[in-house]
Structure 1
Amino acid sequence: MLFKKKGLFTVSDAMKVIEIASKEDPREIIIMCEAIDEEAKRRLWDYARGVELMADLTGENRSVKIEILEGYVSDKVRGIEL
């Protein structure tokens, strides 16, 4: 899943991403933004780690890869606008 945000990616944006991702169950979350708040990064990494821990407890083989592309937001790439 690709999420795009022009401007600063904040904690509230991270919470929206987590809410959407928890319903969709993606293997990879890509964040494309001009800048990102450190707390927002921490929330995203905590979500990925939480998915792995829950999968370990239930015996599943599930993980979420978080990738953050910071600096430029392309209008040509299709993704979910925040």
Structure 2
Amino acid sequence: MLFKKKGLFTVSDAMRVVEIASRENAKEIIVMCEVIDEDAKRRLWDYANAVRLMADLTGEQREVRIEILEGYVSDKVKGIEL
């Protein structure tokens, strides 16, 4: 899933991304933003680690890949606007 945000990507944005991704059971989260807050990065990485740990506990093979593209937000790429 691709999420786009012009301007600063904050913790509240990261929480919305986590909520949407967990509802959709996403395997990949791509965040495209101009600037990202360090706490927001940590929130996304914590979500990926939590998914991996829960999968280990339940015996599943599930993980979420997080990719953060910082610096430029393209209007031509389709994604969920935050």
Which band: TM-score by shorter chain?
Answer: over 0.9
* Deviations, residues 11-47 of structure 1 (Å, cap 9, x unaligned): 0000000000010011100000000000000000000
Alignment map for 1:2-81 (pairs within 5 Å)? 2-81=2-81
Q: Runs of 5+ in structure 1 lacking a partner?
A: none
How many residue pairs match? The answer is 82
Cα distance in 2 for partners of 1:19, 1:26 equals 11
Deviation at 1:75, TM superposition (A): 0.1
Deviation at 1:74, TM superposition (A): 0.1
Percent identity for Structure 1 against Structure 2: 80
Cα distance in 2 for partners of 1:77, 1:49 equals 28
Superposed CA RMSD in Å reads 0.2
Q: Runs of 5+ in structure 2 lacking a partner?
A: none
